[in-house]
């Protein structure tokens, strides 16, 4: 039992010694730094990307405002046209009413003419 325990201890000691960190390959750090530097290029172009999207967003907002204004103007014109038509109908009804009143007055003043056979 003690012998086996010693074997494990020996093995663990060998593992600690044998598994010391290996040096990284020659030029590894330089390659990583170069890769990081090359990856910065798209990052630098990010503002242009955002400006592009800002422009697109502004265009969409302006288009939305123009469409809303056009729709509002069209509805206003329709409302004005509707009010005019309504006023004309009311005027026509008043004229008809006054004409009928005049005919009724005439009939009331000369009732006998129509009553005669």
Contact between 9 and another protein by CB under 8 A: the answer reads: no
Name residues whose C-beta falls within 8 Å of residue 114's C-beta, 6 or more positions apart in sequence.
107
Hey, which residues between 16 and 55 contact another protein (CB under 8 A)? Answer: 16-25, 28-29, 31-33, 35-36, 39
102 touches another protein by CB under 8 A: no
Structural contact between residues 114 and 107, judged by C-beta atoms closer than 8 angstroms: yes
| Number of residues that this document lists for the chain | 117
What is the C-alpha to C-alpha distance for residues 109 and 117, in angstroms, rounded to an integer? 18
Of 3-11, 46-54, 62-70, 99-107: span binding another protein (CB under 8 A): 3-11
Shortest spacing between CB 2 and another protein, in angstroms: 15
């Amino acid at each position: 039992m003690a012998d086996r325990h010693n074997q494990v201890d020996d093995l663990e000691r060998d593992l600690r010694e044998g598994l010391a960190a290996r040096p990284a390959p020659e030029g590894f750090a330089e390659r990583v730094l170069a890769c990081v530097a090359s990856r910065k290029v798209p990052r630098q172009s990010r503002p242009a990307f955002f400006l592009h999207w800002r422009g697109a967003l502004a265009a969409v907002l302006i288009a939305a405002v123009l469409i809303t204004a056009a729709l509002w103007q069209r509805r206003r014109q329709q409302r004005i046209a509707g009010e005019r038509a309504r006023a004309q109908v009311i005027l026509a009804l008043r004229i008809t009413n006054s004409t009928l009143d005049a005919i009724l007055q005439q009939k009331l003043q000369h009732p006998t003419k129509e009553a005669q056979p």
